[in-house]
Structure formats: structure tokens, C-alpha cells
Amino acid sequence: MTSKGLEELDEAECFILLHSRTLGRVGVHVGEQLAILPVYYAIMDHDVVFRTAPGTKLDAAVLGTRVVFEVDNASPGWSVLIRGHAHEISDDTALVHATTLLGHDWPAGERERYVRIVGEQVTGRRLPGSA
């Protein structure tokens, strides 16, 4: 239990929950500001992968920027947070694997670049009594 009465989740349970969703949020620095942006994602070898177009998320990946990724659910109440670095995927084998995992879950428009968030810390919390 945390000081706020939330149940702390172990890493294995965090990944079970991450696999149960496809929409999350990436938090990045944009200059001196912070931005939280939605992405359709998949889990590949314990890392988060998603498609994107040129812009903030791809810029963060090209620069190897430290980012956060978050997924949650209201009922039952839980949240998983991954801290790590974003990188653009350029390896052909990894691109094929990411494409297969992501399927066709993404909004209209061109999103032909792939980003991988290499997780360095995974934490999760659940409201008491939520299972």
C-alpha cells in the first residue's frame, strides 16, 4: 500500500494491464513546456511501440528524449506508468514486428514512422478493492 492507500502493482501485473489496452498517453518536453499526447500502442519485448507522423512525438524519438507513458482505467481503478527513452525504430526486423503488433489501430492520416519507448522504470497502482 502507498501512503495514499493505493495498492502498488508489481511489474508483471503492470504488463498484464498494459497488454489489455491499446490507447495510452506519451508525456514529452516541447521546448520549455510539457505535453501529453494520446497514442495507439502495443507492447513489444517489454517496450511500448506506436506509429506517428513527423512532429512532437517523432522529434522526441529522434533525439532519444526521456519520456513517460501512461495507461489507466477508471473502473476498476488502476494506472501504469513507464519512464524511459523514446527512439525511432529503423531496424527492418523490429519494424515488421511493430507493424504486426499494432495492426490497424490508428487514426486517419499518414503515420508511417514508428517509435519505441525503452522502459527503464515501470510502476503501477490500483484503487483498493479493484481487481
Distance between CA atoms of 98 and 1, rounded to whole angstroms? 35
Q: What is the pLDDT of residue 109?
A: 61
Tell me: pLDDT of 2 over 60. no
Residue 75 has pLDDT above 70, yes or no: yes
Question: What is residue 54's predicted lDDT score, i.e. its pLDDT?
Answer: 80
**Locate cell 506506436: which residue?**
50
Q: Give, in order, the Cα–Cα distances in Å from 75 to each of 17, 49, 66, 78, 103.
A: 13, 25, 30, 8, 26
> Domain extents for the chain?
7-122
| CATH 2.30.110.10 at 7-122, yes or no | yes
Report pTM: 0.86
Query: Hunting for cell 521546448 — which residue is that?
Result: 31
Report the pLDDT value the prediction gives residue 32, as an integer from 0 to 100: 81
Strands 113-126 and 47-52: antiparallel
pLDDT tens track for 90-130: 999 999 999 899 887 666 566 688 899 999 999 999 987 66
| Torsion angle defined by CA atoms of residues 18, 56, 95 and 98, in that order, rounded to the nearest 10 degrees | 20
pLDDT digits (tens, 9 = 90+) for 21-50: 999 999 988 778 888 989 999 999 999 999
Q: Is the pLDDT of residue 9 over 80?
A: yes
Q: Phi and psi at residue 83, in whole multiples of 5°? A: -110, 135
Flag whether pLDDT at 82 surpasses 90: yes
